[in-house]
Amino acid sequence: MSHHLFLLSPSDTPLYNLTHYSSKPAQPTSTSPLASNLPSWSTSAFAGTLTALSGATSATQAHHVQGGTVRIGGGQDRHVIQMIANASLDVIEEVVRKESIMYLKSVDKFNEWTVSAFVTPGNMKFVLLHEARNDDGIKTFFNEVWELYVKTMLNPFHTAHTPIRSPVFDARVRASAKKYL
């Protein structure tokens, strides 16, 4: 089971991202019928993207038909993950105007992915893609990331658009991801 974290600046520039593989067991998987029916040319360079995206149609169908969860092999595809995270920004943008809570749980869903977000007062967005529900853990995780981010921000060499490259920051975020996700 994997988690994907993105830190986005107020102008939506990605400043940091992290992929975390949890040791917790993944949910039972079933292959989507569409994914298995992909034509042979899908072994091309775009195969992963295609497979992952094909999950979209099959997942919605599956939800209508049996309501079961559908997982497909291409779920780990990097581009698709980034696209899902970026797409969820629209929803987040809409919600932050109405909700004063910083932790927005499950703002968006795409295939097997649930998107949770955390918006700091300075309009930094932390976006997390996850598969299982884990509200309390994610909340604590976001709070720790927020503290680390505030510390980063107090550094005079950090501006709102500087990518965060500090190895200590990375290690700390990884540690709390391990602990809470």
Q: How many CB atoms lie within 10 A of CB 163?
A: 12
Residue 89 and residue 127 in contact, taking contact as beta carbons nearer than 8 Å = yes
Judged by CB under 8 A, does residue 154 bind other proteins? yes
Residue 104 and residue 91 in contact, taking contact as beta carbons nearer than 8 Å = no
Judged by CB under 8 A, does residue 169 bind other proteins? yes
Judged by CB under 8 A, does residue 103 bind other proteins? yes
Q: Which stretch binds other proteins (CB under 8 A): 58-66, 82-90, 107-115, 165-173?
A: 165-173
Burial (CB count within 10 angstroms: exposed 0-12, middle 13-18, buried 19+), residue 156: exposed
Q: Is 141 helix (H, G, I), strand (E, B) or coil?
A: helix
Nearer to other proteins, 2 or 170 (CB): 170
Nearest CA to 89 out of 59, 110, 75, 68 is that of 110
Judged by CB under 8 A, does residue 155 bind other proteins? yes
Burial (CB count within 10 angstroms: exposed 0-12, middle 13-18, buried 19+), residue 171: exposed
Judged by CB under 8 A, does residue 97 bind other proteins? yes
Q: Which residue in 57, 106, 160, 179 binds other proteins (CB under 8 A)? A: 160
Q: List the x/- string, 55-94, binding to other proteins by CB under 8 A.
A: ----------------------------------------
Q: Which residue in 44, 150, 178, 179 binds other proteins (CB under 8 A)? A: 150
Q: In the complex, which residues of this chain contact other proteins (CB under 8 A)?
A: 10, 96-103, 119-123, 143, 146-156, 159-163, 166, 168-169, 172
